[in-house]
Amino acid sequence: MSADPSIPPAALSGEVRLPEKLADVEPVRSVRTPIRLEYDFIPGSASSGYLNAFADRKILGQRSPVDGAVFVPPRGVDPRHGAATPDYVELPDTGHVGGFCVTRLPIPGRDDLEIPYVSAWIHLDGADIGFLGLVAGIDTSEVRMGMRVRAVWKPDDQLGRTAENILYWEPTGEPDIPVTAAGTNAWHAKQAAESGEQAAGEEG
Amino acid sequence: MAERLRADLVLEYPFTRTTGPVIGAFLTGLREGIVLGIRRPDGTVLCPPTEYDPETSAPLTELVEVGPGGELVSWTWVDPPRSQSPWDQPHGLGMIRLDGADTPMVHGLLVGGPDELSVGMRVTVRWRSEREGHIADLEGFVPEGAGQ
Protein backbone atom coordinates (compact mmCIF):
# COMPACT_ATOMS: atom_id res chain seq x y z
CA MET A 1 0.00 0.00 0.00
CA SER A 2 1.44 3.39 -0.88
CA ALA A 3 0.57 6.67 0.79
CA ASP A 4 -2.00 9.00 -0.75
CA PRO A 5 -0.20 12.35 -0.84
CA SER A 6 -3.51 14.23 -0.61
CA ILE A 7 -4.14 12.84 2.88
CA PRO A 8 -2.15 14.61 5.58
CA PRO A 9 -0.25 12.25 7.91
CA ALA A 10 -1.74 11.45 11.29
CA ALA A 11 -0.37 13.41 14.22
CA LEU A 12 2.58 11.84 15.95
CA SER A 13 1.23 9.93 18.87
CA GLY A 14 3.92 11.02 21.28
CA GLU A 15 3.37 7.58 22.83
CA VAL A 16 6.65 6.15 21.63
CA ARG A 17 7.92 2.99 23.27
CA LEU A 18 11.53 3.13 24.42
CA PRO A 19 14.01 0.44 25.48
CA GLU A 20 14.11 0.09 29.26
CA LYS A 21 17.57 1.65 29.43
CA LEU A 22 15.98 4.99 28.52
CA ALA A 23 12.88 4.69 30.70
CA ASP A 24 14.03 7.07 33.41
CA VAL A 25 16.27 9.57 31.63
CA GLU A 26 15.37 13.11 30.71
CA PRO A 27 14.36 13.09 27.00
CA VAL A 28 16.07 15.36 24.48
CA ARG A 29 13.49 17.88 23.27
CA SER A 30 15.54 20.25 21.12
CA VAL A 31 18.69 20.24 19.07
CA ARG A 32 21.06 22.93 17.83
CA THR A 33 21.12 23.14 14.03
CA PRO A 34 23.09 26.29 13.20
CA ILE A 35 23.84 27.04 9.57
CA ARG A 36 26.58 29.31 8.27
CA LEU A 37 27.41 30.31 4.71
CA GLU A 38 30.51 32.37 3.92
CA TYR A 39 30.66 33.80 0.43
CA ASP A 40 32.18 36.49 -1.77
CA PHE A 41 29.61 38.94 -3.07
CA ILE A 42 30.51 40.45 -6.44
CA PRO A 43 27.74 42.72 -7.73
CA GLY A 44 26.74 42.78 -11.37
CA SER A 45 26.64 45.96 -13.44
CA ALA A 46 23.29 47.28 -12.20
CA SER A 47 24.13 46.72 -8.53
CA SER A 48 27.63 48.13 -9.06
CA GLY A 49 26.17 51.32 -10.51
CA TYR A 50 23.84 51.58 -7.54
CA LEU A 51 26.61 51.01 -4.96
CA ASN A 52 29.14 53.30 -6.69
CA ALA A 53 26.56 56.12 -6.77
CA PHE A 54 26.15 55.87 -2.99
CA ALA A 55 29.72 57.17 -2.61
CA ASP A 56 28.47 60.40 -4.23
CA ARG A 57 25.40 60.56 -1.95
CA LYS A 58 23.15 59.50 -4.81
CA ILE A 59 20.43 56.83 -5.00
CA LEU A 60 19.99 55.25 -8.42
CA GLY A 61 17.07 53.28 -9.76
CA GLN A 62 16.30 51.91 -13.21
CA ARG A 63 13.28 52.58 -15.43
CA SER A 64 11.31 49.84 -17.16
CA PRO A 65 11.23 50.42 -20.93
CA VAL A 66 7.81 48.74 -21.00
CA ASP A 67 5.67 50.91 -18.70
CA GLY A 68 8.08 53.34 -17.06
CA ALA A 69 8.03 51.71 -13.60
CA VAL A 70 11.12 52.67 -11.60
CA PHE A 71 12.91 49.96 -9.61
CA VAL A 72 15.26 50.56 -6.70
CA PRO A 73 17.68 48.94 -6.05
CA PRO A 74 18.22 48.43 -9.79
CA ARG A 75 18.68 44.82 -10.90
CA GLY A 76 19.20 45.34 -14.62
CA VAL A 77 15.83 43.86 -15.51
CA ASP A 78 12.09 44.45 -15.21
CA PRO A 79 11.16 41.07 -13.71
CA ARG A 80 7.50 41.41 -14.73
CA HIS A 81 8.27 41.63 -18.45
CA GLY A 82 11.73 40.07 -18.70
CA ALA A 83 12.93 43.34 -20.25
CA ALA A 84 16.43 44.76 -19.71
CA THR A 85 16.49 48.12 -17.90
CA PRO A 86 19.66 49.88 -19.09
CA ASP A 87 18.55 53.42 -18.10
CA TYR A 88 19.41 54.70 -14.65
CA VAL A 89 17.22 57.22 -12.85
CA GLU A 90 18.57 59.38 -10.05
CA LEU A 91 16.12 59.40 -7.18
CA PRO A 92 15.69 61.89 -4.34
CA ASP A 93 16.40 60.85 -0.75
CA THR A 94 12.82 61.52 0.28
CA GLY A 95 9.79 59.24 0.23
CA HIS A 96 7.27 57.60 2.50
CA VAL A 97 6.87 54.52 4.69
CA GLY A 98 4.99 51.86 2.72
CA GLY A 99 4.97 49.29 5.49
CA PHE A 100 6.94 48.69 8.66
CA CYS A 101 7.74 46.31 11.48
CA VAL A 102 8.64 47.12 15.07
CA THR A 103 11.20 44.63 16.40
CA ARG A 104 11.39 44.26 20.15
CA LEU A 105 13.76 41.30 20.40
CA PRO A 106 17.49 41.46 19.71
CA ILE A 107 18.79 39.67 16.61
CA PRO A 108 21.96 37.55 17.00
CA GLY A 109 24.76 39.25 15.11
CA ARG A 110 23.12 42.71 15.09
CA ASP A 111 24.28 44.11 18.41
CA ASP A 112 24.45 47.52 16.69
CA LEU A 113 20.63 47.74 16.59
CA GLU A 114 19.10 49.09 19.76
CA ILE A 115 15.70 47.60 20.44
CA PRO A 116 12.98 48.45 19.81
CA TYR A 117 13.76 49.47 16.22
CA VAL A 118 11.63 49.94 13.13
CA SER A 119 12.47 48.40 9.77
CA ALA A 120 10.36 49.70 6.91
CA TRP A 121 9.72 49.58 3.21
CA ILE A 122 10.78 53.04 2.07
CA HIS A 123 9.05 54.15 -1.13
CA LEU A 124 11.16 56.92 -2.64
CA ASP A 125 9.51 59.76 -4.51
CA GLY A 126 9.73 58.72 -8.15
CA ALA A 127 10.25 55.01 -7.44
CA ASP A 128 7.53 52.42 -7.93
CA ILE A 129 8.69 49.81 -5.43
CA GLY A 130 10.00 50.12 -1.90
CA PHE A 131 13.36 49.18 -0.44
CA LEU A 132 14.32 48.37 3.13
CA GLY A 133 15.52 50.90 5.67
CA LEU A 134 15.45 51.75 9.36
CA VAL A 135 13.09 54.46 10.62
CA ALA A 136 14.31 56.48 13.60
CA GLY A 137 14.04 59.96 15.08
CA ILE A 138 10.47 59.22 16.16
CA ASP A 139 8.83 57.11 18.84
CA THR A 140 8.13 53.63 17.47
CA SER A 141 4.43 54.03 18.34
CA GLU A 142 4.22 57.08 16.04
CA VAL A 143 5.44 55.30 12.88
CA ARG A 144 2.67 54.77 10.33
CA MET A 145 2.03 53.80 6.73
CA GLY A 146 2.18 56.84 4.47
CA MET A 147 4.48 58.83 6.80
CA ARG A 148 6.85 61.11 4.83
CA VAL A 149 10.56 60.49 5.51
CA ARG A 150 13.99 61.67 4.39
CA ALA A 151 17.38 59.93 4.54
CA VAL A 152 19.87 60.70 7.31
CA TRP A 153 23.30 60.17 5.74
CA LYS A 154 26.67 59.47 7.25
CA PRO A 155 29.03 62.47 7.20
CA ASP A 156 30.49 63.06 3.71
CA ASP A 157 33.98 61.96 4.79
CA GLN A 158 32.59 58.56 5.83
CA LEU A 159 30.66 57.80 2.65
CA GLY A 160 31.51 54.48 0.97
CA ARG A 161 30.20 52.43 -1.94
CA THR A 162 27.47 50.97 0.23
CA ALA A 163 23.81 51.39 1.12
CA GLU A 164 25.02 51.63 4.73
CA ASN A 165 25.69 55.31 3.95
CA ILE A 166 22.07 55.90 4.92
CA LEU A 167 21.96 55.58 8.69
CA TYR A 168 18.18 55.71 8.90
CA TRP A 169 15.08 57.53 7.66
CA GLU A 170 13.51 60.31 9.74
CA PRO A 171 10.10 61.98 9.49
CA THR A 172 9.94 65.17 7.43
CA GLY A 173 6.82 66.44 9.19
CA GLU A 174 4.97 66.82 5.89
CA PRO A 175 1.36 65.56 5.65
CA ASP A 176 1.06 61.78 5.24
CA ILE A 177 0.39 60.05 1.93
CA PRO A 178 -3.14 58.55 2.09
CA VAL A 179 -2.89 54.83 2.88
CA THR A 180 -4.82 54.05 -0.31
CA ALA A 181 -1.93 55.54 -2.29
CA ALA A 182 0.94 54.42 -0.02
CA GLY A 183 3.36 51.53 -0.32
CA THR A 184 2.29 48.81 -2.70
CA ASN A 185 -0.92 50.74 -3.38
CA ALA A 186 1.08 53.61 -4.89
CA TRP A 187 1.71 51.97 -8.27
CA HIS A 188 -1.94 50.95 -8.68
CA ALA A 189 -3.13 54.42 -7.64
CA LYS A 190 -0.76 55.98 -10.19
CA GLN A 191 -1.92 53.61 -12.96
CA ALA A 192 -5.58 54.39 -12.16
CA ALA A 193 -4.90 58.13 -12.20
CA GLU A 194 -3.07 57.91 -15.56
CA SER A 195 -5.81 55.85 -17.19
CA GLY A 196 -8.34 58.33 -15.83
CA GLU A 197 -6.44 61.24 -17.40
CA GLN A 198 -6.21 59.33 -20.64
CA ALA A 199 -9.95 58.67 -20.62
CA ALA A 200 -10.63 62.35 -19.88
CA GLY A 201 -8.30 63.34 -22.74
CA GLU A 202 -10.11 61.05 -25.16
CA GLU A 203 -13.45 62.52 -24.17
CA GLY A 204 -12.10 66.04 -24.73
CA MET B 1 34.87 52.02 -15.68
CA ALA B 2 34.61 52.03 -11.91
CA GLU B 3 36.58 49.51 -9.88
CA ARG B 4 34.99 46.12 -9.44
CA LEU B 5 33.29 45.78 -6.08
CA ARG B 6 33.38 42.77 -3.83
CA ALA B 7 32.46 42.02 -0.22
CA ASP B 8 32.90 39.09 2.14
CA LEU B 9 29.43 38.20 3.35
CA VAL B 10 28.28 35.74 5.98
CA LEU B 11 24.78 34.32 6.25
CA GLU B 12 24.27 32.64 9.59
CA TYR B 13 21.30 31.40 11.59
CA PRO B 14 21.73 29.96 15.10
CA PHE B 15 18.67 27.72 14.88
CA THR B 16 17.49 25.54 17.71
CA ARG B 17 14.62 23.26 16.75
CA THR B 18 12.35 20.96 18.65
CA THR B 19 12.76 17.29 17.90
CA GLY B 20 9.43 15.58 18.47
CA PRO B 21 9.19 12.22 20.25
CA VAL B 22 10.98 10.01 17.71
CA ILE B 23 14.01 12.10 16.74
CA GLY B 24 14.15 13.20 20.39
CA ALA B 25 14.36 9.56 21.47
CA PHE B 26 17.11 8.88 18.91
CA LEU B 27 19.13 11.83 20.26
CA THR B 28 18.40 10.81 23.86
CA GLY B 29 19.82 7.39 22.99
CA LEU B 30 22.97 8.93 21.53
CA ARG B 31 23.46 10.97 24.71
CA GLU B 32 23.10 7.76 26.75
CA GLY B 33 25.45 5.85 24.45
CA ILE B 34 23.01 3.65 22.52
CA VAL B 35 21.76 3.82 18.94
CA LEU B 36 18.02 3.45 18.33
CA GLY B 37 16.11 2.32 15.30
CA ILE B 38 12.36 2.12 14.88
CA ARG B 39 10.31 -0.95 14.02
CA ARG B 40 7.88 -1.03 11.11
CA PRO B 41 4.70 -3.13 11.15
CA ASP B 42 6.44 -5.77 8.96
CA GLY B 43 9.14 -6.17 11.61
CA THR B 44 11.94 -4.43 9.73
CA VAL B 45 13.88 -1.71 11.56
CA LEU B 46 14.80 1.73 10.22
CA CYS B 47 17.95 3.41 11.51
CA PRO B 48 18.08 6.33 11.85
CA PRO B 49 14.43 6.16 12.94
CA THR B 50 11.73 8.04 11.03
CA GLU B 51 8.50 9.35 12.47
CA TYR B 52 6.37 7.78 9.77
CA ASP B 53 6.45 4.57 7.76
CA PRO B 54 8.02 5.47 4.39
CA GLU B 55 5.47 3.37 2.47
CA THR B 56 2.20 3.71 4.36
CA SER B 57 2.79 7.01 6.22
CA ALA B 58 1.52 5.32 9.41
CA PRO B 59 3.07 6.76 12.59
CA LEU B 60 5.85 4.54 13.98
CA THR B 61 6.31 4.19 17.73
CA GLU B 62 8.45 1.20 18.71
CA LEU B 63 12.06 2.23 19.22
CA VAL B 64 14.61 -0.58 19.51
CA GLU B 65 18.30 -0.65 20.28
CA VAL B 66 20.59 -1.50 17.34
CA GLY B 67 24.36 -1.82 16.94
CA PRO B 68 26.86 -0.81 18.17
CA GLY B 69 28.49 -3.02 15.52
CA GLY B 70 27.47 -3.10 11.90
CA GLU B 71 28.44 -3.65 8.29
CA LEU B 72 29.91 -1.10 5.91
CA VAL B 73 27.58 -1.06 2.90
CA SER B 74 29.39 1.57 0.81
CA TRP B 75 31.91 4.33 1.39
CA THR B 76 33.94 7.19 -0.06
CA TRP B 77 37.10 8.96 1.08
CA VAL B 78 37.19 12.66 2.05
CA ASP B 79 40.52 14.48 1.79
CA PRO B 80 40.71 17.19 2.81
CA PRO B 81 37.54 17.81 4.85
CA ARG B 82 35.91 21.18 4.22
CA SER B 83 36.32 23.99 6.73
CA GLN B 84 33.00 23.34 8.48
CA SER B 85 33.18 19.56 8.50
CA PRO B 86 32.68 17.88 11.89
CA TRP B 87 36.03 16.13 11.22
CA ASP B 88 39.34 17.95 10.86
CA GLN B 89 41.32 14.99 9.47
CA PRO B 90 40.89 13.04 6.20
CA HIS B 91 38.27 10.34 6.81
CA GLY B 92 35.79 8.04 5.17
CA LEU B 93 32.07 8.69 4.79
CA GLY B 94 30.10 5.49 4.81
CA MET B 95 26.69 3.90 4.77
CA ILE B 96 26.65 1.67 7.85
CA ARG B 97 23.94 -0.93 8.46
CA LEU B 98 23.95 -1.49 12.20
CA ASP B 99 23.22 -4.96 13.63
CA GLY B 100 19.45 -5.25 14.08
CA ALA B 101 18.68 -2.56 11.50
CA ASP B 102 17.56 -3.08 7.90
CA THR B 103 18.60 0.32 6.54
CA PRO B 104 22.04 1.97 6.58
CA MET B 105 22.90 5.34 8.08
CA VAL B 106 25.57 7.82 6.95
CA HIS B 107 28.46 8.63 9.23
CA GLY B 108 32.21 9.15 9.36
CA LEU B 109 34.76 6.34 9.14
CA LEU B 110 37.74 7.07 11.35
CA VAL B 111 40.67 5.22 9.81
CA GLY B 112 44.09 6.26 8.58
CA GLY B 113 43.49 5.84 4.87
CA PRO B 114 41.19 4.46 2.18
CA ASP B 115 43.15 1.18 2.01
CA GLU B 116 41.71 0.35 5.43
CA LEU B 117 38.13 0.39 4.12
CA SER B 118 36.22 -2.25 2.17
CA VAL B 119 32.56 -2.96 1.48
CA GLY B 120 31.24 -5.63 3.84
CA MET B 121 33.79 -4.97 6.60
CA ARG B 122 32.65 -4.90 10.23
CA VAL B 123 32.69 -1.53 11.97
CA THR B 124 31.57 -0.27 15.37
CA VAL B 125 30.61 3.00 17.02
CA ARG B 126 33.16 5.31 18.61
CA TRP B 127 31.45 7.58 21.14
CA ARG B 128 32.55 10.97 22.34
CA SER B 129 33.26 11.05 26.05
CA GLU B 130 31.05 14.13 26.57
CA ARG B 131 27.63 13.83 24.98
CA GLU B 132 24.67 16.20 24.80
CA GLY B 133 22.00 14.62 22.57
CA HIS B 134 23.34 15.43 19.10
CA ILE B 135 24.40 13.35 16.08
CA ALA B 136 27.99 14.47 16.79
CA ASP B 137 27.83 12.51 20.09
CA LEU B 138 28.66 9.66 17.75
CA GLU B 139 32.20 10.58 16.76
CA GLY B 140 32.25 8.07 13.92
CA PHE B 141 32.80 4.39 13.16
CA VAL B 142 36.03 2.38 13.44
CA PRO B 143 36.91 -1.16 12.31
CA GLU B 144 35.57 -3.72 14.77
CA GLY B 145 38.29 -4.87 17.12
CA ALA B 146 40.37 -1.73 16.50
CA GLY B 147 39.72 -0.55 20.03
CA GLN B 148 37.42 2.24 21.04
The residue of chain A with its CA nearest to that of B32 is A22
Size of interface A-B (CB pairs under 8 A): 133
Domain-ending residue, one of A91, A110, A130? A91
Mark yes or no for CB contact A22/B7 under 8 Å.
Answer: no
The residue of chain B with its CA nearest to that of A15 is B61
The pLDDT value recorded for residue A165 is 96
pLDDT tens-digit readout, B12-57: 888 888 998 999 999 999 999 999 999 999 999 999 999 999 998 8
Same domain, A159 and A105: yes
pLDDT tens-digit readout, A10-68: 655 558 889 998 888 999 999 988 888 899 999 999 999 999 999 999 999 999 999 99
Domain-ending residue, one of A54, A76, A91? A91
Same domain, A137 and A72: no
How far does B21 lie from chain A, in Å, by closest CA? 5
- DSSP states along A152-187: EEPPGGG--SSGGGEEEEEE--PPPPPGGGSTTHHH
Is the confidence at residue A128, as pLDDT, over 80? yes
The pLDDT value recorded for residue A12 is 57
pLDDT tens-digit readout, B60-96: 999 999 999 999 999 999 999 988 899 999 999 999 9
Same domain, A47 and A105: no
Chain A within 8 Å of B1 (Cβ-Cβ)?
Answer: no
Report if residue A25 sits inside a domain.
Answer: no
Query: How buried is A136 (Cβ within 10 angstroms: 0-12 exposed, 13-18 middle, 19+ buried)?
Result: middle
Is the confidence at residue A3, as pLDDT, over 90? no
- A residues 49-78 closer than 8 Å to B (CB): 51-52
Provide the domain limits for residue A175.
Answer: 93-203
Verdict on whether the full-model pTM lies above 0.90: no
The pLDDT value recorded for residue B14 is 83
Chain A within 8 Å of B20 (Cβ-Cβ)?
Answer: yes
Mark yes or no for CB contact A35/B13 under 8 Å.
Answer: yes
How far does A149 lie from chain B, in Å, by closest CA? 29
- Which one of B5, B16, B31 has the shortest CB-CB distance to A48? B5
Same domain, A66 and A163: no
Mark yes or no for CB contact A52/B5 under 8 Å.
Answer: yes
The residue of chain A with its CA nearest to that of B8 is A40
The rounded distance, in Å, linking the Cα atoms of B104 and B97 is 4
How far does B30 lie from chain A, in Å, by closest CA? 10
Best residue of B8, B55, B57, B131 to probe chain A, by most A CBs closer than 10 Å:
B57
Report if residue A9 sits inside a domain.
Answer: no
Supply φ then ψ for residue A27, to 5 degrees. Answer: -70, 150
Same domain, A78 and A174: no
- B residues 90-129 closer than 8 Å to A (CB): none
Supply φ then ψ for residue A85, to 5 degrees. Answer: -125, 80
Mark yes or no for CB contact A16/B27 under 8 Å.
Answer: no
Same domain, A179 and A120: yes
Q: Can you tell me the ipTM of this complex?
A: 0.83
Q: Which residues of A93-114 are buried (b: 16+ CB within 10 A; e: fewer)?
A: bbbbbbebeeeeeeeeeeeeee
The pLDDT value recorded for residue B143 is 97
Task: List the domain boundaries for chain B.
Answer: 20-143
Is the confidence at residue B146, as pLDDT, over 60? yes
The pLDDT value recorded for residue A13 is 54
Domain-ending residue, one of A30, A62, A91? A91
The pLDDT value recorded for residue A9 is 57
Same domain, A45 and A64: yes
Report if residue A6 sits inside a domain.
Answer: no
Chain A within 8 Å of B85 (Cβ-Cβ)?
Answer: no
Chain B within 8 Å of A40 (Cβ-Cβ)?
Answer: yes
Same domain, A125 and A160: yes
The pLDDT value recorded for residue A36 is 87
Report if residue A4 sits inside a domain.
Answer: no
The pLDDT value recorded for residue A8 is 61
Same domain, A129 and A176: yes
Same domain, A193 and A102: yes
Same domain, A85 and A136: no
Best residue of A4, A12, A28 to probe chain B, by most B CBs closer than 10 Å:
A28
pLDDT tens-digit readout, A133-143: 999 999 999 99
The pLDDT value recorded for residue A204 is 45
Mark yes or no for CB contact B5/A42 under 8 Å.
Answer: yes
Q: What percent of chain A has pLDDT over 70?
A: 91
Mark yes or no for CB contact B22/A52 under 8 Å.
Answer: no
Is the confidence at residue B120, as pLDDT, over 70? yes
Same domain, A72 and A102: no
Mean pLDDT score across all residues of chain A? 90
The rounded distance, in Å, linking the Cα atoms of A29 and A161 is 46
The pLDDT value recorded for residue B2 is 57
Tally the domains of chain A.
2
Listed in sequence order, the residues at least 6 apart from B16 whose beta carbon sits closer than 8 Å to its beta carbon are A30, A31, A32, A33
The pLDDT value recorded for residue A184 is 86
